[in-house]
Amino acid sequence: MIAASASVSPQATFPESVRIWDLAQVREGASLGERVIVGRGAYIGSGVLIGAETKIQNYALLYEPAEVGIGVFIGPGVILTNDKSPRAVTPEMRQKDSTHWNPVGVKVHDGASIGAGAVCVAPVTIGRWAMVAAGSVVAADVADYALVAGNPARRIGWVGNAGVRLSQVAATPGRWVCPESGEIFVEVSAGGIAPVSDPSL
């Protein structure tokens, strides 16, 4: 389903299950997976990759070369930037064009959520099932399952697959439990956590 007022490049690729709402723009080379939803006024830049089951809410801006995994939530007004040192002009005061810069992207891994109005300043990576609080400014990589908030965003806790903040298991350092699912998570050497069911542990 593509709204009549949406602007979708014929060079974008997506299956029939995708829904693109009013005033959204999907640029050339963008690739959207099964059942992706693009909300009103959202912008998907050239060559942006979006995995299946992802929801992109109203007026989110995803600039190339962003890569978004499977089942990601991008909240209203989220911005994924692509220029680490933005300038409109060269040092000689000549207006820049696309030949004057190399875009850098934001990578969002499977299951992650980015709350309304958050800004991710490229280049950064948002880990699997991580959650970025609304209004945050993310300027550093976010670990798997991390809950981050603030400007700059810092980890304030951990979340499970259900999106609920994890509780530390009493008298067991390095172990966390999801109050909703009961799933147990353990600290890993990379500085994050992982469910005990993870085969890599």
Give yes or no for a contact between 75 and 115, defined as CB atoms under 8 angstroms apart: yes
User: What is the spatial distance between Cα 124 and Cα 92, in angstroms, rounded to a whole number?
Assistant: 30
User: Are 110 and 194 part of one and the same domain?
Assistant: no
User: Are 178 and 93 part of one and the same domain?
Assistant: no
User: Are 75 and 168 part of one and the same domain?
Assistant: no
* Tens digits of pLDDT across the chain (201 residues): 999 999 999 999 999 999 999 999 999 999 999 999 999 999 999 999 999 999 999 999 999 999 999 999 999 999 999 998 899 999 999 999 888 888 999 999 999 999 999 999 999 999 999 999 999 999 999 999 999 999 999 999 999 999 999 999 877 788 999 999 999 999 887 678 999 876 565
User: Are 145 and 168 part of one and the same domain?
Assistant: no
Identify the bridge partners of residue 56 per DSSP, sorted by sequence position: 38, 74
Phi, psi angles (nearest 5°) of residue 99: -80, -10
User: Are 121 and 196 part of one and the same domain?
Assistant: no
User: Are 151 and 189 part of one and the same domain?
Assistant: no
User: Are 44 and 93 part of one and the same domain?
Assistant: yes
User: Are 150 and 197 part of one and the same domain?
Assistant: no
The CA-based angle 41-31-45, given to 5 degrees, is 45
Q: Say which CATH number the domain at 134 has.
A: 2.160.10.10
User: Are 108 and 200 part of one and the same domain?
Assistant: no
Residues in the chain: 201
Threshold 0.85, pTM exceeds: yes
Predicted pLDDT at 6: 97
| Structural domain boundaries enclosing 87 | 1-159
95-102 contacts, C-beta under 8 A, 24 or more apart: none
User: What is the spatial distance between Cα 188 and Cα 143, in angstroms, rounded to a whole number?
Assistant: 11
User: Are 43 and 81 part of one and the same domain?
Assistant: yes
User: Are 194 and 98 part of one and the same domain?
Assistant: no
User: Are 86 and 179 part of one and the same domain?
Assistant: no
Dihedral sign, Cα of residue 121, residue 80, residue 138, residue 40: positive
Report the number of distinct structural domains present in the chain: 2
